[in-house]
């Protein structure tokens, strides 16, 4: 079976999220689909070889973003060549540092960041 799996993040402001992820992660916009009202119902961004989709949260459709739910039950992992720089760039663009990037006893250099839309990211890389 030939399949692909990628997350679709629901956010409170899809256009702001597209801007954040393109600047913070170096993502490229592969697809942006908006309704007549301009609301983004589906966008696909590529980060390295991965696809990350996102859409505007719409309460009537049951599409809730982490802020509206009081937090996110999901951790996204970003494997970066320089996790310190990646986390710093995210924070500089409006994310919150939750756990500092440090060498961990399990052989990774990792930290955690909450992006401006409530999604939690483990920023990971090789030990220094």
The answer to whether 66 touches 118, Cβ cutoff 8 Å, is yes
Task: Give one DSSP letter per residue of 86-106, joined into a string.
Answer: HHHHHHHTT-EEEEEEEE-TT
Instruction: State how far Cα 32 lies from the chain centre.
Output: 16
What are the tens digits of pLDDT across the range 78-87? Answer: 999 999 999 9
Looking at 3.90.79.10, 3.40.50.1860, 3.40.50.2300, 3.10.180.10, the CATH number of the domain 8-125 comes to 3.10.180.10
What are the tens digits of pLDDT across the range 15-26? Answer: 999 999 999 999
What are the tens digits of pLDDT across the range 84-121? Answer: 999 999 999 999 999 999 999 999 999 999 999 999 99
pLDDT-derived band at 57 (thresholds 50, 70, 90) equals very high
Report pTM: 0.94
């Amino acid at each position: 079976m030939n399949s692909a799996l990628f997350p679709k993040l629901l956010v409170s402001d899809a256009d702001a999220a597209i801007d954040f992820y393109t600047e913070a992660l170096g993502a490229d916009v592969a697809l942006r689909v908006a309704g007549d009202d301009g609301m983004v119902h589906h966008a696909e961004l590529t980060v390295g070889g991965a696809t990350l989709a996102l859409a505007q949260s719409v309460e009537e459709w049951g599409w809730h973003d982490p802020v509206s739910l009081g937090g996110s039950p999901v951790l996204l992992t970003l494997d970066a060549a320089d996790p310190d720089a990646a986390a710093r760039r995210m924070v500089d663009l409006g994310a919150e540092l939750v756990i500092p990037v440090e060498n961990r006893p399990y052989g990774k250099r990792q930290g955690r960041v909450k992006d401006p839309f409530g999604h939690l990211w483990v920023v990971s890389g090789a030990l220094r």
